[in-house]
Amino acid sequence: MIRVSVLYPSGEGSTFDHNYYRTVHVPMAVKGWNPLSAQIDKGVSGPYEAAVHFVFPTVAAFENAMGMPVTADLMADLPNYTNISAVIQVAEIVEG
């Protein structure tokens, strides 16, 4: 299994609408991509304002999701909740 983490670094002048992200954006991704799971973080302390972690069974399943039409819709939706450029981490889950 793999975990795809989308991390939003905190910074001066950055904006992030956590409610919109939780109620609109991430549900759109989950519905379109159908990951095994998704977990949203709201930063309390540390370098990130927010994050979402999607679990996919394989890298190929994640790559397939990236090619779906909903991915373009998700990219177009970014300005509706943030002005932060996300950092994406793809990792193999080795234990858990």
**Ordered domains of the chain (ranges, CATH):** 2-92 (3.30.70.100)
pLDDT digits (tens, 9 = 90+) for 38-87: 999 999 999 999 999 999 999 999 999 999 999 999 999 999 999 999 99
Q: Provide the pLDDT for residue 95.
A: 87
Query: For residue 21, what are its two tokens?
Result: 């992200």
Average pLDDT over residues 6-31: 97
- Checking if the pLDDT of 92 tops 90, the result is yes
Radius of gyration over every alpha carbon of the chain, rounded to an integer in angstroms: 13
pLDDT of residue 40: 98
Query: Coil, helix or strand for 82?
Result: strand
What does the pLDDT read at residue 10? 96
Instruction: Tell me whether residue 35 is exposed, middle or buried, using C-beta atoms within 10 angstroms of its C-beta: 0 to 12, 13 to 18, 19 or more.
Output: buried
